[in-house]
Amino acid sequence: MNSEKPSGRALLPIIIFLLLYLGNGIYFEYIHPIEGQMGFYIMSVVLAFCISLAVALVQNTSRSFEDKIHICARGIGDDNITIMLFIFLIAGAFGGIAKEAGGAASTAGLLLSILPGGLAIPGLFLIACLISMSMGTSVGTITVLVPIAAAVAKDGGFNLALCTGTVVGGAMFGDNLSFISDTTIAATNTQGVQMKDKFRANIKIALPAALITLAILVVYAMRGRAVSMGSYDYNIIQALPYFVVLVLAVIGINVFLVIGVGILLFLLAGAFTGSLTYVSALTSMGNGCSGMFETMIVTILVASIGALIRENGGFAAILGFIRGHFSGLRGGLVGISLLTCLMDVATANNTVAIVMAAPIARQITEEYGIDPKETASLLDTCSCIAQGIIPYGAQLLIAAGLAQISSVKIIPFLFYPFLLMVCVVLSIALHKEE
């Protein structure tokens, strides 16, 4: 536990970050929008955290600058942070090679080709769930499927916002449960738990929400007319590695081995089908790794800021607030859930929200006697709930842009994220005190 006295002033770096990032985001998204740009991405999250780190470094003048750097180094050098950074790199390489080899397109084409026209809407939800779990990215899934959802809405006489929201919901389901998603990587490694254990805790909450969503969508589908889904090109060999990776991950194989096998299988599939060359394989994996650099830099910055805030008594202040308002194991679970949701609402990035909330969540876990795998599950689930419903998050903004509708219009049809929220509340309310 932290030996420092609780100090609300130690939280100033977080406040500065929120004012800079959230303030600029709101201004450029709603007050003074710039055509062709998403307001919450005009100010780099890295820059906002750099300024926040500078504030943390000038606080607590009783410590020398060298001492503060040493505190940052200890935070960055934590075993779980190091493992997380390595997994981000290899997951980036996997995502790059999978896309270049045609894995995402072939998987989507395969699933769409076997989808009955009368079940177009629930089918879209299931496909979004599977592709997002395979790819480990909700944004990538939305980019692939929303144009198809728009066509389904037009041909079947369905509400466009309904079809778009269906894809977003499925994408968030898969992102939450995928073994190669950066949210899963962040949630499990910051809490020191196995991915398979977090998955088992997670599925108990996510599956009921998904099944109820599916039932609602079946009712909607029955009210419309059958849709001609058309024909989609796919190659079963290019799609197969995704399913192998899913199976290996679910049975609990080490994540490094799972992703390594996935990369090898996509290399072989790409070479066999001619979708990859030696040059394109190297380039795609390199680009995939590069795509993770911002996430890795944010992780390093947040680890540094968190270490300084902890040392200065900021975490103790938050724990004091939670102790004063939430008691018992259920209270600890509520505290972790609210903390994660608030971080995501503020940052509009579920991975960043998890990395920011994780150190405090770990202390709550220890103090309230919570099972770490439940904490990891809540971190991932609650960040995905918030990210799936905020109209200024990347998921809804991209979906709205592709469907050419307002992101706010999609919110009433986000059945899965709202049902997932209900399931989280029920799981906490029914949780046995120990």
User: In whole angstroms, what is the distance from residue 205 CA to residue 357 CA?
Assistant: 20
* Closest by Cα among 240, 267, 272 to 110: 240
User: In whole angstroms, what is the distance from residue 92 CA to residue 293 CA?
Assistant: 9
Q: What is the pLDDT of residues 7-18, one digit of tens each?
A: 888 889 988 988
User: In whole angstroms, what is the distance from residue 164 CA to residue 158 CA?
Assistant: 10
User: In whole angstroms, what is the distance from residue 390 CA to residue 400 CA?
Assistant: 12
Read off the pLDDT of each residue in 67-96 and give the average, rounded to a whole number: 85
Read off the pLDDT of each residue in 368-388 and give the average, rounded to a whole number: 93
- The position carrying tokens 């309904």 is 162
> What is the per-residue pLDDT for 58?
93
Provide the 3-class DSSP secondary structure of residue 227.
coil
Q: 39 falls in which pLDDT band (50, 70, 90)?
A: confident
Amino acid at 190: T
User: In whole angstroms, what is the distance from residue 152 CA to residue 417 CA?
Assistant: 22
Q: What is the pLDDT of residues 234-282, one digit of tens each?
A: 788 988 888 888 788 767 677 788 888 989 999 999 999 999 999 999 9
Plot region of 230 (φ>0 → left; ψ -120 to 50 → alpha; else → beta): left
> What is the per-residue pLDDT for 204?
93
Helical packing angle, 372-389 and 160-177, nearest 10°: 160
User: In whole angstroms, what is the distance from residue 77 CA to residue 47 CA?
Assistant: 22
> What is the per-residue pLDDT for 230?
58
User: In whole angstroms, what is the distance from residue 403 CA to residue 193 CA?
Assistant: 39
Amino acid at 301: L
The more confident residue out of 419 and 432 is 419
Give the least confident one: 72-81, 159-168, 359-368.
72-81
- Longest Cα pair distance anywhere in the chain, in angstroms? 71
Q: What is the pLDDT of residues 91-106, one digit of tens each?
A: 888 888 988 998 877 8
Q: What is the pLDDT of residues 394-406, one digit of tens each?
A: 788 788 888 888 7
Pair 364, 319: CB distance under 8 Å: yes
Read off the pLDDT of each residue in 196-225 and give the average, rounded to a whole number: 88
> What is the per-residue pLDDT for 393?
76
Compute the residue count for the chain.
434
User: In whole angstroms, what is the distance from residue 185 CA to residue 362 CA?
Assistant: 15
Residue 205 CB contacts under 8 Å (≥ 6 apart), including other chains = 377, 381, 420, 423, 424, 427
> What is the per-residue pLDDT for 114?
75
Q: 349 falls in which pLDDT band (50, 70, 90)?
A: confident
Residue 210 CB contacts under 8 Å (≥ 6 apart), including other chains = 125, 129, 173, 416
Read off the pLDDT of each residue in 218-222 and give the average, rounded to a whole number: 83
Pair 200, 372: CB distance under 8 Å: no
CB atoms within 10 A of CB 2: 16
> What is the per-residue pLDDT for 228?
57
Q: 69 falls in which pLDDT band (50, 70, 90)?
A: very high
Read off the pLDDT of each residue in 151-173 and give the average, rounded to a whole number: 86
SS3 of 206-221: HHHHHHHHHHHHHHHH
* Distance from the Cα of residue 181 to its chain's centroid: 7
**Half-sphere exposure at residue 389, Cβ-oriented, CA atoms within 13 angstroms:** 19
C-alpha distances out from residue 107 to 120, 128, 238, Å: 17, 11, 8
Plot region of 136 (φ>0 → left; ψ -120 to 50 → alpha; else → beta): left
* Closest by Cα among 371, 404, 409, 405 to 389: 409
Which two structure tokens, joined as six digits, stand for 325?
């308002």
> What is the per-residue pLDDT for 2?
43
Question: pTM to 2 decimals?
Answer: 0.76
**Half-sphere exposure at residue 21, Cβ-oriented, CA atoms within 13 angstroms:** 27
* Closest by Cα among 121, 111, 114 to 224: 121
Percent of the chain, pLDDT > 70?
A: 95
> What is the per-residue pLDDT for 154?
76
**Half-sphere exposure at residue 184, Cβ-oriented, CA atoms within 13 angstroms:** 31
